[in-house]
Structure 1
Amino acid sequence: MRALLTPEIAPISGVVLFRPGSELLWLFRQGRVVIETPGEAMADLPSGVIPAAYQSLTDDVSMHPIFEHERVIQRAGGLPCLDAWLERKFECQWPHNDWHANDYTIMRHQPGSIRLCYGCDNQIRDHSTVQLEGIARKNLVSWLIWTVNGQLGFNDDHVLTLPEFCWWMVKNDLADLIPESVATKALRIEPEAIRSVMRESDIAPRVPATQLLQEKVKKIVSVKVNPESPESFLLRPKRNRWVNDKYTRWVKAQPCVCCNQQADDPHHLIGHGQGGMGTKAHDLFVIPLCREHHDELHADPVAFEAKYGDQLTLLFRFIDRALAIGVLA
């Protein structure tokens, strides 16, 4: 806790007096205290307890799908960590009862958890309302911001910004979950000015912010070489499929190899002895395709290769690019 106090100075005796009041006197009973000059943000605050930092991200509706995504919650520690964080609060969060028990518990409710006393828990345990959802969401967002602040090395009073939260997502391999609107704000891209043109060929579409973000993120996949793997000594070794979600997510973020538009899918090589019933090629043998060309390939592979080139050639060029720019190392 921090407090803003006005000192009374006795310059001749060199003594500074504070009047914290009975509600803040316990701060000085702890021993030493830190004294610092208040910043501009505290210029208009009255003397007394400094309120907790207002986190603007909590009220940003566009961030709610990100906060509630399963992968984001898991990277922050999962719902058990949210429950442990709520157990530090000795108060019931259900405001519609005049009496509350002195014992507390945790109730899971989408999209997070709620701290309740035993009396309220027995009353609303099986309920699912918009108000309960709002309390659970507020707890989830507050816990996520507290966790991200800690993992980035900030204290609890730090106001987490959108670029800082996006950096935490990039650092935890969650960059593919950042939507276009959030990426635009995080990169501080100004809205594109609308200008009239005489020819359609003069229209120059802007590169999506999500693509810029993916290009700026170095996603390196290390390919290990083991010339003496146990399977290599077997007469008929069992084939294991190489899987790497990080690489396929990066492939999905690249331009389509046919039309150079934003890809929608990482296409796994079919034919050429790869793929088959109930299986697919290794995740290394993938090329980025938009949905239209992906459907076209699966509808008629022979016609597709006659029009756009052999899959092996497209794959070779794409892997060559991935190696050249350091994605595969």
Structure 2
Amino acid sequence: MDALQSGVVELLRSRRGGDSGNKDDGATLALVIEGGGMRGMLSATMAAVLADQGLVDAVDLVVGTSAGAANATAVAAGTIGAFSESYASVFASPEYIGAGRMLRRKSMVDTRGITARSAELFEWSLALRDGAPRLAAVATDVVTAKAVPLTDFTDPTDLADSVIASSQLPLAGGLPVTVRGRRWLDGGLVEAVPVASAAALGATHAIVLVTRPFGTAPAYGSADRVIERYLRRVNPELGDLYHSRPDRYRASVAEMRAGSHAGVHTLTFAPDAADPIPGRTETDVDLLRAARQAATGTATRMLAEAGLL
């Protein structure tokens, strides 16, 4: 294990072994969660494994992008185990996802519907209770083309709107959404794995949950060229960022895996290359359940390798 990674491990051991309410050690530990549509089930499952082992209690800050923002909210609410199951049991449905929705003149992904149902079923309001870790949902500001961590939520509606902003896919999810007086699209356009946003909020150390096997990156095909052209009409800088997304992703995750990114010490968990990986709009329930089982095993193995079991 890299010395930088071991710093996160030692911090976790120290906090788990002591008084979980006393974190006066000078560090700020973040849980950073990638999304990726239905692929976010993998990071939700890994987060559930961490919660089962009592490691989430050591965290000061939970930061997520896109589906990772929904996962982060469930972590802060204390309902991540049940939420990780819901990808297959609730949301892998043509009611929420699929080309058939477009035949009914609706967006391919019902971001608002998924968010509203999640908030209702999994008690997202608990994420705002006293004693919960600080929570942030990272979205892309359409005007500045910057990733912005939305935090310090005023009420459950503000929280839900911020998760929608973080998850608003270009084209597939519809037009940019307006929240807090600004226009937003999916945070993954700029920062799929929001360690830099966690750093901006004061994180010194981070447990990072990515949803692609190490060494892989987003593909770039014909549909992506359509999205890039659309983004260039919205803001040319967004088009440039989208085009460079695979290279930026590969480089940043490599740094996280090595133990440091954006000045933050990182311990990174990822699915195994042999694990089933759901697509962004996956609705195959059997595949999703198999992927959840595999992600549970992979996260448990990685915790054991880090000496955290």
Q: Which range, TM-score by smaller chain?
A: under 0.3
Higher relative contact order (CA 8 A, sep 6+): 2
Structure of larger gyration radius? 1
- Under a length normalisation based on structure 1, what TM-score does the superposition of the two structures give? 0.21
Higher helix share: 2
- Under a length normalisation based on structure 2, what TM-score does the superposition of the two structures give? 0.22
Higher strand share: 2
